[in-house]
Amino acid sequence: MTDTAQRQELPEGSWASSAARRRNMQAIRSRDTKPEWLIRRLVHAQGLRYRVAARPLPGLRRTADMVFRPTKLAVFIDGCYWHGCPQHYVPPKTNPGYWSDKVARNVARDRDTDRQLEEAGWTVLRFWEHESSNACALKIAATVSRLRK
């Protein structure tokens, strides 16, 4: 199938520049990424238990990567591209208007999520995917321990 034929399959006004790009973007994981998996494994090995990809607040349609309900701790492991890491985010060359706006909306949503959780009495920890898994796990364990007291 030619690129032109693939583009014709897309609905009018589609965000993807081609059908192949659309398939590629849809295949990107939203949970259970390697950084999440590594941190969860290390935290679990320390004897801590948590919920995975859970909503900390029932009325908030947003999920945290790890939720410690008894201590009201929500942990997010943010991808550098999707959440606009100041160190690693590189604006895309293809369809830059759409993707830069998308990342800006993600960042704004992250700040709003933090604010809503903190107003409800939750502690929020955010880590970048490039951070050391060991350091993240240690900070999570220390925070859980501090909140239990």
Both 23 and 35 in one domain: the answer is no
Residue 44 lies in domain: 31-148
- Residues 24 and 3 both lie in one domain: yes
Do 21 and 71 belong to one domain? no
Q: How confident is the model at residue 94 (pLDDT cuts 50, 70, 90)?
A: confident
Read off the CATH number of the domain in which 99 is found. Answer: 3.40.960.10
Q: What is the mean pLDDT of the chain?
A: 87
Among candidate residues 126, 83, 116, the one with its CA nearest the CA of residue 102: 83
Tokens of 38: 């590594």
Q: What is the pLDDT of residue 22?
A: 63
Same domain (yes/no): 89, 113 = yes
Report d(CA 116, CA 105) in Å as an integer.
16
Q: Is residue 115 over pLDDT 50?
A: yes
Domain identity same for 15 and 53 = no
Number of domains the chain contains:
2
**pLDDT tens-digit profile of 61-85?**
999 999 999 999 999 999 998 899 9
